[in-house]
Amino acid sequence: MKEKLMVKRSDGLTKLDLHGVRHYEVDRLVENFILMNQDLLPLTIVCGNSQRMIDLAYTAINRIECREVAMDRYGVISIRSL
């Protein structure tokens, strides 16, 4: 199976794009993305307009207990501090 994970590093930002990712994959992908890139803060997770996708991403974020998380724009989550 081809990995759909889209991680970009540009302009000082490390970004995970969840477009095209199945709901059952979100938890594992978000957790791995955060833990594997925690030295590259801030991290950005693009969920899109799906409230379900946003909720799934927040479930993983809350389990990791990130200290500073914001959604300045709907569907785009920023993790500023772990």
Q: Which residues contact 58 (CB under 8 A, 6 or more apart)?
A: 69, 77
CATH numbers and ranges of domains, the chain: 6-81 (3.30.1370)
Q: What is the mean pLDDT of residues 28-49?
A: 95
- Identify the CA nearest to 78 among candidates 40, 52, 50: 40
pLDDT tens digits for range 5-37: 566 666 667 999 999 999 999 999 999 999 999
**pTM of the predicted protein model:** 0.87
